[in-house]
Amino acid sequence: MDELLNCVSMLAQYQYGNYVAQHVLEHGKPNEHSIILQELAWKIVQMSQQKFATNVVEKCLTFGDASERQLLVHEMLGTTDENEPLQATMKDQFANYVVQKVLETCSDQEREHILSRIKVHLNFFCLRVNN
């Protein structure tokens, strides 16, 4: 198990390896979940944009506890008002599913915060399309 957890980022990106990571998230021990979440959290945008790794990120959101989901959401929102990580995930063909899963699994307070950040981009996009 230690060997798997040491290369979870790599496994998550492969056609069959992502199933191994998903299985550990679904059936593994809480400390194994935490290791995977910690590994993927700081690169959530990049992993969400990968065809296979996006499935692992979604499982992290489904099977993580509230504090682990909060960490993933914090990383996805970024630290500036420009919302660059969120904007990148919303526009990506795979990562947009992660945004949807975040909205399904987060707390009401987090959902309101995320939706307010999304609305900024929608308003900007609508202005550009109409002009």
Q: What does the pLDDT look like over 70-129, one tens digit per residue?
A: 999 888 887 766 668 888 888 899 999 999 999 999 889 989 988 888 887 676 555 555
- Which domain range does residue 102 map to? 2-130
- Give 86 or 58, the one with higher predicted confidence: 58
* Total structural domains within the chain: 1
119: domain CATH number is 1.25.10.10
- Give 32 or 117, the one with higher predicted confidence: 32
Which tokens is 59 given? 């499982």
What integer pLDDT is reported at residue 83 of this predicted model? 65
